[in-house]
Amino acid sequence: MGYLEELNESQGVAVKNIYGPTMVIAGAGSGKTRVLTFRIAHMIEQGVDPFNIMALTFTNKAAREMTERIGEIVGDGEARNITMGTFHSVFSRILRMNADRLGYPSNFTIYDTQDSKSLLKDIVKGFNLDDKAYKANNVLGRISSAKNNLISPEAYEKNPDIQAEDKMAKRPEMARIYKAYANRCFNAGAMDFDDLLYKTNVLLRDFPDVLNYYQQKFKYILVDEYQDTNYAQYLIVKKLAAVYENICVVGDDAQSIYSFRGANIQNILNFKKDYPDFKLFKLEQNYRSTKNIVEAANGVIARNKDQIKKTVWTDNDEGSKIKVIRTLTDNEEGKVITNKIYDKVKAEGLSFNDFAILYRTNKQSRSFEESLRKHNIPYKIYGGLSFYQRKEIKDLLSYFRLTANHNDEEAFKRIINYPKRGIGKTTLENVIIAANQYGVTPWDVISNFTQYPVAINAGTKKKMADFATMIKSFSAQLNTLDAYSLAQEIAKSSGILKELTTDKDKGPEEVERYQNIEELLSGIKAFVSNQGEEDSKSLSEFMLDVALLTDADEDKDEVKNHVTMMTIHSSKGLEFPNVYLVGLEENLFPSQMSLNSRSDLEEERRLFYVAVTRAKENCTLSYATSRFQWGNLITAEPSRFIEEIDPKFLRHESPVRGGGRSLSKRMTTQERPHQGGLNRSFTSSSLKPINKVSSKSNVKGSDTLELKVGFMVEHNRFGKGKITALEGTGADRKATIFFPRHGAKKVLLRFADLKVTDI
């Protein structure tokens, strides 16, 4: 059990106590994931059947990394037998296995936020309601809150308090909308993200045999980030653990920052009430940050009343004091921080990816974007438009969805006339109206106009019938072709690829759309290649993976030479050598909306604690004394959180104004990062050199021409290896790579996504 020697005393005790209710309170940077991983490995080493273990995380990436690490200790075979994943991914699979109990098809579609909003807009319009009073975002938030609190449409309608709230908010028809939304989703064979938890609770509540089966199957339950669980998640876990009570929750109440998503900090604070005989372990040694950062953060969070007391400490160096920068305006704040980053990179030989700019709200990114762009510093914004939310990607994914589930109404509406096939908006509305009148789906209508007559001319009916025939031909191949082969077939036969390549006057945006489709197909190819022999390689399985991606599963961990920009909420779980926490002003951070209650203010303070503890070596706080809001220049005051830090941990700096050359002039042509096309959106993937391979660069497409025998490369699955042979040309070029742990592997270079580590 050499792995236990890697743990400190507190971690070791938490890992070895594998029976009974257990709570592990893990301070920032204290090795929480390591404890959770080693605890599972230790359970298996002690004879626990991995089939009896369920581990719930908040990102798929965390689940994959933990499974790989457990596999290194106990073997890949045992690790793969653990039920590990996010709440939504684990329970979506349980729902698919028992979908018939709830009247759903096993291949039900999972609606994302965009799908849900589109459906709600359709419902509001159908009810002739004011779309300003019933904004899709607000309506969806209300429905989401109801589901997270396990309130059904029927219970919602009958609850007088809820009805009074809706009348006060001037949305008296909310109950009718909620009921219509639930019915339309059900008829479409679709669940939204909240349904994956809501319906699981219904399944376990209404079918005791199902509950008993999973109680006996999951005798050991582990939950990561327990402070972020909502009521629905809490109740599922409590039900499943009721028989054996071998439940271990890991988290940090000081990092509970997601109440706006329904997270309830009381779940972790009240764990001792649910399990009076529980064991408590505290991980208090911080391995991430300097003493100054740790102690400064401790002093601030100590002001919160609702918390589990702990004293986080570190053996790391004392480090630099936390810097505080005051600027006159928000625009000047952007310029000053940009100069600080550039000067530090030049003086210390650092990479741009050693830096993160964190802010309270996305709108604050503007001044920093402008300044970074002017000075040719590459950056990437996280929390912007996800790859899978781009139009061309959603279009192709909708073809995939309708292929797997003909009743998927949102997918149907999106692609019935894309690429254009002469089916107008009015025609589509008539089909949907008819479907609602007959209580069926739009697919049923276009598949049988005889049974469901609609006032549409014969030519248009034929176009719709041809569309249905095409989709059916795709469906016939769902179980015979792997995901990549079928995806290629759909992309070609649907006309999407042709649509994106026939335009003679293609601009940068059109080229990027085509490249995005190419990237999606490459991702599907990689999915097929990485599936084990016994794993499904079908398009349906790939779609399940895509549907369950979370924000945190985007490529935040890719090491590229760019400054990272994101909201503090998005930064949770990440760390950076240098963190710039900007916009530290009253009414901005803490938010003005948080000043009405102590609980809200304490959550803002926890958010500040999370932000500061992202920093490993240097933390800089900045604020402006004036800021533009809604076109007006307002006077701003420094945040109370700055005042709450003991002055001995702070160093106030004054920005240098005037004098010296501008940053852009100080950078020579050779010093400036390669831009590779400034017209592309800076929120997309960071820019790459063209036809050039450099140390630690990702290698794709034409870049592979520069690869040579003897290069050391890194593969996302097999790790580091050495190229021993190259063959073929162009798109068919292959490399034989020897990986010390996996032996020689032959890979197709255009899909391999290699990273050169040494030349």
Check residue 25 and report its DSSP letter: E
- Give the Cα separation of 49 and 72 in Å (integer): 17
Q: End-to-end distance of the chain based on CA atoms, in angstroms?
A: 37
Query: CA angle 483-488-489, nearest 5°?
Result: 100
Check residue 76 and report its DSSP letter: H
Selected residue with higher pLDDT from 723 and 665: 723
Q: Following DSSP, what letter does each residue of 690-748 receive, concatenated?
A: SS---TT-EE-GGGGGG--TT-EEEETTTEEEEEEEEE--GGG-EEEEEETTTEEEEEE
Write the single-letter amino acid at 5.
E
Averaged pLDDT for residues 513-528: 85
Check residue 255 and report its DSSP letter: G
| pLDDT on residue 362 | 83
- Give the Cα separation of 48 and 396 in Å (integer): 44
Which tokens in the block code for residue 619? 């933390």
Q: How many other C-beta atoms are found inside a 10 Å radius of the C-beta of residue 158? A: 11
Q: Following DSSP, what letter does each residue of 397-444 receive, concatenated?
A: HHHHHHHH-TT-HHHHHHHTTSS--S--HHHHHHHHHHHHHHTS-HHH
Q: Following DSSP, what letter does each residue of 530-550 receive, concatenated?
A: HS-TTS--SHHHHHHHHHT--
- Give the Cα separation of 415 and 408 in Å (integer): 11
Torsion of Cα atoms, 158 then 162 then 167 then 173, to 10° = -50
| pLDDT on residue 123 | 95
**199 near 110, Cβ under 8 Å?**
no
Q: Is the model's pLDDT at 751 over the cut of 70?
A: no
Which tokens in the block code for residue 711? 């290069």
Residue 530 exposed, middle or buried by CB count within 10 Å (0-12, 13-18, 19+): exposed
Check residue 285 and report its DSSP letter: B
> In this structure, what are the phi and psi dihedrals at residue 189, rounded to the nearest 5 degrees?
65, 45
Averaged pLDDT for residues 567-573: 91
Nearest Cα neighbor of 582 from 360, 430, 404, 304 is 360
Compute CA distances 663 → 335, 374, 660, 666, whole Å.
Answer: 9, 9, 9, 5
Average pLDDT of the residues of the chain: 86
Three state DSSP letters for 573-619 = CCCEEEEEECCCECEECCEHHHCCCHHHHHHHHHHHHHHHCCEEEEE
Write the single-letter amino acid at 210.
V
Check residue 564 and report its DSSP letter: E
Looking at the DSSP assignment, which residues form a beta bridge with residue 282?
25
pLDDT digits (tens, 9 = 90+) for 68-98: 999 999 998 899 899 999 999 999 999 999 9
Q: Is the model's pLDDT at 720 over the cut of 90?
A: no
| pLDDT on residue 650 | 96
Write the single-letter amino acid at 375.
H
- Give the Cα separation of 24 and 282 in Å (integer): 6
In the block, residue with structure tokens 């599922």 = 236
Say which residues have a Cβ less than 8 Å from residue 379's Cβ, sequence separation at least 6. Answer: 352, 368, 369, 372, 373, 562, 563, 564, 565, 682, 686
**581 near 358, Cβ under 8 Å?**
yes
Check residue 83 and report its DSSP letter: E
Confidence of residue 506 (pLDDT cuts 50, 70, 90): low
Confidence of residue 688 (pLDDT cuts 50, 70, 90): very low
Confidence of residue 744 (pLDDT cuts 50, 70, 90): confident
Selected residue with higher pLDDT from 21 and 512: 21
Nearest Cα neighbor of 547 from 685, 405, 444 is 405
pTM: 0.74
**Alpha-carbon torsion 240, 245, 248, 252, what sign?**
positive
Averaged pLDDT for residues 597-614: 95
- Give the Cα separation of 287 and 30 in Å (integer): 6
Q: Is 660 helix (H, G, I), strand (E, B) or coil?
A: coil
Averaged pLDDT for residues 331-347: 93
**% of the chain residues with pLDDT over 90:** 64
- Give the Cα separation of 567 and 592 in Å (integer): 17
Averaged pLDDT for residues 398-406: 95
Q: How many CA atoms lie within 13 A of 82 on its CB side?
A: 31
**590 near 640, Cβ under 8 Å?**
yes
Say which residues have a Cβ less than 8 Å from residue 395's Cβ, sequence separation at least 6. Answer: 414, 415, 418, 496
Q: Is the model's pLDDT at 611 over the cut of 90?
A: yes
Check residue 222 and report its DSSP letter: E
Q: Following DSSP, what letter does each residue of 444-510 receive, concatenated?
A: HHHH-TTTS--S--HHHHHHHHHHHHHHHHHHTTTTTS-HHHHHHHHHHHTSHHHHHH--TT--HHH
Stretch among 301-305, 572-576, 633-637 having the lowest mean pLDDT: 633-637
- Give the Cα separation of 90 and 40 in Å (integer): 17
pLDDT digits (tens, 9 = 90+) for 269-308: 999 999 999 999 999 999 999 999 999 999 999 999 989 9
| pLDDT on residue 385 | 58
Highest mean pLDDT among 418-432, 621-635, 704-718: 418-432
Q: Is the model's pLDDT at 579 over the cut of 90?
A: yes
pLDDT digits (tens, 9 = 90+) for 356-382: 999 998 888 888 988 998 888 999 888
**245 near 275, Cβ under 8 Å?**
yes
Q: Which positions are annotated as active-site residues?
A: 32-33, 224-225, 255, 614
Check residue 225 and report its DSSP letter: S
pLDDT digits (tens, 9 = 90+) for 636-682: 999 999 999 999 999 998 754 433 333 333 333 333 333 332 222 32
Q: Is the model's pLDDT at 466 over the cut of 70?
A: yes
| pLDDT on residue 412 | 96
Confidence of residue 687 (pLDDT cuts 50, 70, 90): very low
- Give the Cα separation of 428 and 413 in Å (integer): 8
Confidence of residue 507 (pLDDT cuts 50, 70, 90): low
pLDDT digits (tens, 9 = 90+) for 126-140: 999 999 999 999 999
